[in-house]
Amino acid sequence: MKGEPVFHVLPDAEALARAAAGRILGIVRERLADQARKRKTGVKFHMALSGGTTPRRAFELLAGPPYAEIFPWEDVHFWQVDERWVPPDHPESNRRMLLDTLLSHVPVPSVNLHFIDTSLGSPADAVRAYETALRAALPAPKRGFPAFDLVHLGLGIEGHVASLFPDSPAMDEASAWVTTSTGGDPDLPRVTLTLSVINAAAAVLFVVSGSDRAEALEKTLAGEAVPGGLVSPENGTLTFLADEAAAGEVEP
Ligand code: 6PG
């Protein structure tokens, strides 16, 4: 890991959403500036966003002032961390949530949007299609994994991240970039990035809210064997943003 994990506690869910929006923009700007300093041309920023409820407010903030005007939308490619196996316009669809809260309100070119396609025949078909799209956009070393510039994660009550649930076979996937899984709330078949891809990212950002996450966050921060605790980007940074309810007794 690059440096020690960073852990910030915010007073409440609204402050957490503000901090998350600001941190996402900060990571994007820093990385693009670094690429410009190295005179790399045509380089884009690739970010994978989680679904669920917690990120909604931060995404809405990014879609409004001042972020909507200052965010470098054209330079950022948006990917999904995971998707529930429901039609794309279903209320439980993560793609729909990303579009409704953020992506349909900002001037991001449509070629920069990469969704897990739940209109295909099966989750396995969607896995293949998503991995193919990833391989075309994000080069990786032979038998290695693509390095997202940022992977944004939530944390489930029992410590899951992405759609990687405790004891799920998806957790043991050693070589795939994308895999199928089942579980969560709602309990559905899912398509998810693997732990290997998450741990290959240049930056991983957890955003965690609510007292029902306190135990999972404590285990995750302690590096225990819950999925969250296994997130440890090999060459990247690891940041936790939590509200006071989720942080519980844990001191930053
Ligand atoms: C999903 C997610 C998932 C999420 C956690 C936390 O599809 O459910 O992408 O990994 O981040 O379950 O979800 P909440 O924010 O809804 O608590």
- Paired tokens of 174: 């050693």
Per the domain annotation, does 89 fall within a domain? Answer: yes
Per the domain annotation, does 184 fall within a domain? Answer: yes
In this structure, the residues whose C-beta lies within 6 A of any atom of ligand 1 are 50-54, 81-82, 84, 94, 154, 156, 161-162, 184
Q: How far is CA 80 from the centre of its chain?
A: 7
Q: Which domain holds residue 163?
A: 43-188+200-249
Choose which residue among 54, 178, 208, 211 to substitute to test ligand 1 binding: the one with the highest number of ligand atoms within 8 A of its C-beta.
54
- State the CB neighbour count (10 A cutoff) for residue 61: 22
Q: How many domains does the chain have?
A: 1
Strand order in the sheet with 150-153: 6-10, 237-243, 203-208, 150-153, 45-49, 76-80, 113-114
Per the domain annotation, does 136 fall within a domain? Answer: yes
* Ligand 1 nearest-atom number relative to CA 51: 9
- Sorted by sequence, the CB contacts under 8 Å of residue 129 that are 6+ apart come out as 117, 120
Taking alpha carbons only, the member of 216, 245, 238 closest to residue 23 is 238
CATH code assigned at 158? 3.40.50.1360
Per the domain annotation, does 81 fall within a domain? Answer: yes
Whole-number Å distance, alpha carbon 26 to ligand 1 midpoint, is 23
Whole-number Å distance, alpha carbon 137 to ligand 1 midpoint, is 25
pTM of the model: 0.97
Q: Which protein residue has the closest C-alpha to ligand 1 atom 12?
A: 156
pLDDT in tens, the chain (252 residues): 898 999 999 999 999 999 999 999 999 999 999 988 988 887 799 999 999 999 999 999 999 999 999 999 999 999 999 999 999 999 999 999 999 999 999 999 999 999 999 999 999 999 999 999 999 999 898 889 999 999 999 999 999 999 999 999 999 998 999 999 999 999 999 999 999 999 999 999 999 999 999 999 999 999 999 999 999 999 999 999 999 999 998 877
- State the CB neighbour count (10 A cutoff) for residue 157: 12
